[in-house]
């Protein structure tokens, strides 16, 4: 499913994004890798760190930390923390294998962020990790600076999850990071 995206990305070399970040393609020498079961720090519901290296799922946007929704018991919950916990559980349970497709460098000394697509194992099926997170209602389709989805199939999956009231969509006041960022 994401191979065509990876091929399209590999045709490019370097782009400048609106935020002044450099976006370049990961070298073909960068091999596919399994996400380790230890030594992993979950940063958000769509990113993690192994050692000093940061990885982020292509086309997925999680809830932002510090944004809240009201659970069924009437208590406020940190949507970003819930998204991160779900990602941690999915990574632990499915042992995904990832492919780097791009990297984002910043004008500071911070490490590059490697953009990845990952295949997760659920029973005898191999599924796209981004699709799992979005269809289960714990992630959103990432939008570009023009308000368009980075990967259109994820937006379709997000709309289906919303209609089904899956995951965070079960709560009427779930924060929507794409709307929050636009405001």
Residue 29: which CATH number? 2.40.50.90
**In the prediction, which pLDDT does 111 show?**
76
Report CA dihedral (90, 91, 97, 103) to the nearest 10 degrees. Answer: 110
The answer to whether position 181 is within a domain reads no
Enter the DSSP assignment of 146.
T
For 64-167, list the strands marked E by DSSP.
68-70, 76-78, 97-105, 113-122, 125-128, 140-141
Q: Is 72's pLDDT higher than 80? A: yes
Q: Is 33's pLDDT higher than 60? A: yes
Closest CA to 122 of 98, 87, 90, 99: 90
Q: Give the whole-angstrom CA distance, residue 42 versus residue 86.
A: 10
Using a 10 angstrom Cβ sphere, with 0-12 exposed, 13-18 middle and 19 or more buried, the burial of residue 154 is buried
Total domains in the chain come to: 1
The answer to whether position 182 is within a domain reads no
Token pair belonging to 44: 């958000």
The answer to whether position 31 is within a domain reads yes
User: What's the sign of the alpha-carbon dihedral 65, 172, 176, 84?
Assistant: positive
Q: Give the whole-angstrom CA distance, residue 100 versus residue 35.
A: 12
Q: What is the largest CA-CA distance in the chain?
A: 50
Global pTM exceeds 0.85: no
- pLDDT above 70 covers a percentage of the chain that reads 81
The answer to whether position 150 is within a domain reads yes
**In the prediction, which pLDDT does 178 show?**
86
Structure confidence at residue 130 as a pLDDT band (50, 70, 90):
very high
Inter-residue contact 129 to 118 (CB < 8 Å): yes
pLDDT single digits (tens) 163-182: 999 999 999 999 999 876 55
Q: Taking residues 142-170, what's their average pLDDT? A: 97
Secondary structure of residue 128 in the 3-state scheme = strand
**In the prediction, which pLDDT does 181 show?**
56
The answer to whether position 47 is within a domain reads yes
Lowest mean per-residue pLDDT among 7-16, 71-80, 138-147? 7-16
The answer to whether position 147 is within a domain reads yes
The answer to whether position 179 is within a domain reads no
The answer to whether position 18 is within a domain reads yes
Full residue range of the structural domain in which residue 37 is found: 3-174
**In the prediction, which pLDDT does 46 show?**
98
Structure confidence at residue 92 as a pLDDT band (50, 70, 90):
very high
pLDDT single digits (tens) 6-23: 333 333 333 333 344 444
């Amino acid at each position: 499913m994401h191979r065509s995206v990876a091929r399209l990305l590999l045709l490019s070399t370097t782009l400048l994004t609106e935020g002044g970040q450099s976006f370049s393609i990961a070298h073909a020498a960068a091999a596919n890798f399994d996400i380790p079961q230890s030594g992993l720090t979950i940063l958000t519901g769509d990113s993690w760190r192994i050692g000093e290296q940061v990885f982020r799922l292509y086309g997925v946007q999680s809830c932002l930390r510090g944004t809240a929704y009201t659970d069924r018991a009437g208590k406020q919950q940190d949507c970003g923390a819930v998204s991160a916990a779900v990602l941690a559980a999915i990574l632990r349970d499915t042992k995904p294998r990832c492919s780097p497709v791009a990297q984002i460098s910043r004008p500071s000394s911070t490490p590059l962020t490697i953009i990845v697509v990952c295949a997760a194992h659920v029973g005898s099926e191999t599924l796209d990790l981004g699709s799992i997170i979005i269809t289960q209602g714990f992630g959103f389709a990432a939008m570009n600076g023009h308000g368009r989805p980075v990967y259109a199939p994820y937006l379709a999956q997000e709309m289906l999850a919303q209609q089904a009231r899956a995951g965070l969509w079960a709560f009427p006041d779930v924060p929507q990071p794409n709307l929050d960022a636009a405001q």
